[in-house]
Chains A and B, each alone.
Chain A
Amino acid sequence: MTTAQPVSHQPTAHTTAHRTTSALLYLSGVTVSFDGFKALNNLSLLIEPGEMRAIIGPNGAGKTTMMDVITGKTRPDEGQVVFDGQADLTKLDEAHIATLGIGRKFQKPTVFESHTVRDNLLLALAGMRSWYKLLGAAPTKAENDRLAEILSIIRMEAQQHMLGARLSHGQKQWLEIGMLLAQNPKLMLVDEPVAGMTDVETETTAQVLREVNKSHSVVVVEHDMSFVRALGVKVTVLHEGSMLAEGSLDQVSADPRVVEVYLGR
């Protein structure tokens, strides 16, 4: 369940004038416990601007909890989470964090089922979030153009008027990626993007992510090792809520501790 409580609606309330770190995302000593069980245990992590990072780890390693902490869904018991060197994410709520520029794709694709593909993308489109402005606004030309662009990237022009509920699992995954693009965040958190995709789709997804990485920082959580290999980026291995190893995929797979964790003791 969520332990998040909305704290502030003032974008400037918890941001300081100057940067405290050059990293885009800075996690230090983050600990989260549920009824004594430590889902995250003194976790530290640095993501540089423009970086793409793959996070792997067995089930229960704390990958999703880490995402929850970054996006404001779960409040850490201890530790610092700083975004863009300024914003203390432990004090902000989800909506605020999202408007700062952190986008998230869920493990289980969650699209808005009673809306069309186009409306889903329109909702995600960066910009208008104010409720009273939305009462009278129609999509602008710039917005329509951007929608068309994204529809073509995710190859769903034909399905743009289809309801979310009628999409296949793979289509939902693509729509989610499209929504992330529409949101245009500084940092994308992507949770298991290729689950349920065919090999060809997996390869396409890797391509899309690499393309996206040219203008965004990306954190990918994934089980699929061939996909991680295809991404060809720095890998962080989580285990029991802490970082176990970091480096290229080849480096970490050679690490005896990682082998032990994956193959059992």
Chain B
Amino acid sequence: MMTRFLWTGMGRNLRLFVLLVLAVGIVVPALNLLMPKTSPFYVPAYALQLIGKYLCYASLALAVDLVWGFCGILTLGHAAFFALGGYCMGMYLMRQIGARGVYGNPILPDFMVFLNYPELPWFWHGFNHFWFAAPMVVIVPGVLALALGWFAFRSRVTGVYLSIITQAMTFALLLAFFRNDMGFGGNNGMTDFKDILGYSVQADTTRAVLCFASALALAIFLIISGAIIGSRFGTALIAVRDAESRMRFLGYRAETYKLFVFVLSAAMAGIAGALYVPQVGIINPSEFAPGNSIEAVLWVAVGGRGTLIGPVIGAFIVNFAKTYLTGALPEVWLFALGALFIVVTLFLPKGIVGLWAQIRARNLAKKATAA
């Protein structure tokens, strides 16, 4: 039954796309590790890290699209789930530093020594074990999403109000994580990581494996999302998106459908954040900034909301442009980003994938008339 569930929903395009993502996740790290540095096929370490980062962003975009494109909930706070997953991973990585920190304290991370913490706060216990931290990456964002969604969906908060609530949530978390006495390193967050599962985070092989893991996660998320959307649940979900009250009158508990997808999506974002942190080597409160969440929404809009491939494409294109422009023409980047928001909403409401589908449909129509 499980395989049925996983394969029926996937169209041919999606299957090909999943294979493409996996291919990237294998070929890029392999070229980095196996090719000599002089080879034209060699992928430099920074490019490997960049692609790993983009893959995590793509997972976040897919998570945003699940709730926005398929549930109609414009979330302006998904970066919060991403950051929470990242913080869980950050806590694990901090505990792995052990006595190698600047202050040499075997238990307390450096910032706690610096801030005169007498002992480890209760919520830090267990994070020295990967088996504890790894489920937390899913549980913490999932529980927050469950709590928020439970109240919001049952109270029938929809549309703009829901967007504002999610934005307020990430804003509140931003303020909270800036505080030193929250116990998460305040303004500076966590950095200077050493090992993950006993391997140095700086090592080429570790980076290669992390990049592959990010691709694998994205591929799994695509398969799961495809299966859900293709199932009768997905049919009901899209119906809830389009006419929620109509579904209630048919006897469906619309809030349950939304809640399931919202929590799933938050968990996906959390995993993406957890894979992101060891690759970039830092997590700090700025990840909670409302602007980040809205940017993630833009990736989805650019690629094409309501499609599974679109958010991945959008995340890659926008972030590639960002990497290029912030390096080459930093002044221009915000203009470009702002303009992109406007152009996409005005002229490309279905994103690149939608545009492509439109062009194909037009060509087909032409062929049909020609024949």
Task: Judge A-B direct contact (beta carbons within 8 Å).
Answer: yes
Q: Which residues of A contact B (CB under 8 A)?
A: 2, 4-6, 9, 71, 73, 93-96, 98-99, 103-104, 106, 110, 112-115, 119, 122-124, 128-129, 131, 134-139, 179, 183
Binds A, one of B138-146, B210-218, B230-238: B230-238
Q: Does B228 contact A (CB under 8 A)?
A: yes
Instruction: Determine how close the nearest CB of chain A comes to the CB of B228; give it in whole angstroms.
Output: 7
Query: From A73, which residue of chain B is reached at the shortest CB distance?
Result: B245
Choose, from B37-45, B167-175, B177-185, B250-258, the stretch at the interface. Answer: B250-258
Establish whether residues A183 and B238, one from each chain, have CB atoms under 8 Å apart when the complex forms.
no
Cross-interface CB contact of A115 among B235, B245, B251, B253, cutoff 8 Å? B235
- Chain B residue with the shortest CB-CB distance to A112: B239
Report B-chain residues with C-beta under 8 Å of the C-beta of A113: 242-243
What residues on A are CB-neighbors of B256 within 8 Å?
131
Cross-chain contact of B242 among A5, A96, A112, A135 (Cβ < 8 A): A112
Would you list the 5 A-B pairs with minimal beta carbon distance, nearest first? Answer: A98-B251, A94-B248, A134-B233, A99-B251, A134-B232
Q: Is B156 an interface residue (CB 8 A)?
A: yes
A95 partner residues in chain B, CB cutoff 8 A: 248, 251-254
Q: A93-B248, A98-B250, A104-B249 are in contact. Are A131 and B243 (CB under 8 A)?
A: no
**Can you list 19 A-B pairs with a CB-CB distance of less than 8 A?**
A6-B255, A95-B248, A104-B249, A110-B243, A110-B246, A112-B242, A114-B238, A115-B242, A123-B239, A123-B247, A131-B236, A134-B231, A134-B236, A135-B231, A135-B232, A136-B5, A138-B232, A179-B250, A183-B251
Query: CA of A73 to CA of B256 in the docked complex: distance in angstroms?
Result: 18
In the complex, what residues of A have CB within 8 A of residue B235's CB?
A: 115, 119, 122-123
Report the Cα distance A112→B250, complex, angstroms: 12
Q: Does B260 contact A (CB under 8 A)?
A: yes
Taking CB atoms, residues of chain B closer than 8 Å to A2 are 156, 245
CA distance A101 to B108 in the complex (A): 61
Please tell me if the beta carbons of B253 and A131 are within 8 angstroms of each other in the complex. Answer: yes
Task: Please pick, from B8, B155, B251, the residue contacting A138 in the complex, using a CB distance under 8 A.
Answer: B8
With A112-B238, A136-B4, A136-B5 as given contacts, are A128 and B245 in contact (CB-CB < 8 Å)?
no
Q: Which of B1-15 contact A (CB under 8 A)?
A: 1-2, 4-5, 8
State the CA gap A124–B236 with chains docked (Å): 10
Q: Which residues from A are CB-within-8-Å of B236?
A: 123, 131, 134
**Bitwise interface map of B from 218 to 236 toward A, beta carbon under 8 Å scored 1, else 0:** 0000000000100111011
Residues of A within 8 A of B260 (CB): 131
- With a CB–CB cut-off of 8 A, which chain A residues contact B254? 95
Q: Is B154 an interface residue (CB 8 A)?
A: yes
A245 and B238 alpha carbons, distance in the complex (Å)? 43
Is the CB–CB distance between A183 and B233 below 8 Å?
no
State how many angstroms separate the Cβ of A259 from the closest Cβ of chain B. 35
A138: which B residues are within 8 A, CB to CB? 4, 8, 232
Residue of B nearest to A127 (CB): B251
